[in-house]
């Protein structure tokens, strides 16, 4: 009888562990969900109500202002202008985001992660020293730093969930 209880307990624990270890955002059930703040809408996705697809226009997938630099007079000198769900409601549920970040000389965008998305950085002018640190998945594996100096026209990918940074050069 004790062996049966141990067996059942083991199965229950394994079921719980495997059910909570697999997690991701589900695939969308519709082509898009343009976010609105209208509780009369009957569809809610990602905490936002979806605009009726018959009322969606191209403007719901458009934003402007990313050509304007932000105010970099903060302690880090880094400023960002993002195209988020408020300025670009068509981005809701698409699993992407967009931001413009301005770096004055010697500014640091300190170590951070993006737990739900990868990041692609494109340098338009100047130079940036960028990098990310791997996690360890094996007992004898060490963390690795992947870094590069980027110049105008270069791009770099930061994998989802990994610690990464950007440091501006002198220009």
H, E, C per residue of the chain: CHHHHHHHHHHHHHHHHHHHHCCCCCCCCCCCCCEECCCCCCCEECCEEECCHHHCCHHHHCCCCCCCCCCCCCCCCCEEEEECCCCCHHHCCCCCCEEEEECCCCCEEEEECCCCCCEEEECCCCCEEEEEECCCCCCCCCCCEEEEEECCCCEEEECCCCEEEEEECCC
Q: Is 119 annotated as a binding residue?
A: yes
Q: Is 109 annotated as a binding residue?
A: yes
Q: Is 112 annotated as a binding residue?
A: yes
Instruction: Give the residue numbers of the binding site.
Output: 109, 112, 119, 164
Instruction: Give the residue numbers of the binding site for oxalate.
Output: 109, 119
Instruction: Give the residue numbers of the binding site for Mn(2+).
Output: 112, 119, 164
């Amino acid at each position: 009888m004790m062996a049966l209880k141990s067996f059942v307990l083991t199965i229950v624990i394994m079921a719980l562990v495997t059910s909570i270890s697999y997690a991701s955002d589900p695939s969308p059930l519709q082509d898009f969900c343009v976010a609105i703040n209208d509780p009369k809408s009957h569809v809610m996705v990602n905490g936002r109500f979806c605009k009726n697809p018959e009322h969606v226009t191209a403007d719901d997938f458009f934003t402007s202002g990313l050509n304007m630099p932000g105010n970099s007079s903060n302690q880090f000198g880094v400023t960002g202008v993002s195209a988020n769900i408020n300025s670009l409601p068509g981005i809701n549920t698409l699993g992407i985001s967009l931001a413009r970040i301005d770096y004055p000389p010697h500014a640091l965008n300190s170590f951070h992660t993006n737990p739900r998305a990868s990041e692609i950085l494109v340098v338009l002018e100047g130079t940036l020293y960028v990098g990310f640190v791997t996690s360890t998945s094996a007992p004898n594996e060490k963390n690795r730093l992947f870094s590069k100096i980027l110049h105008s026209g270069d791009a770099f990918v930061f994998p989802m969930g990994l610690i990464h940074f950007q440091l501006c050069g002198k220009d």
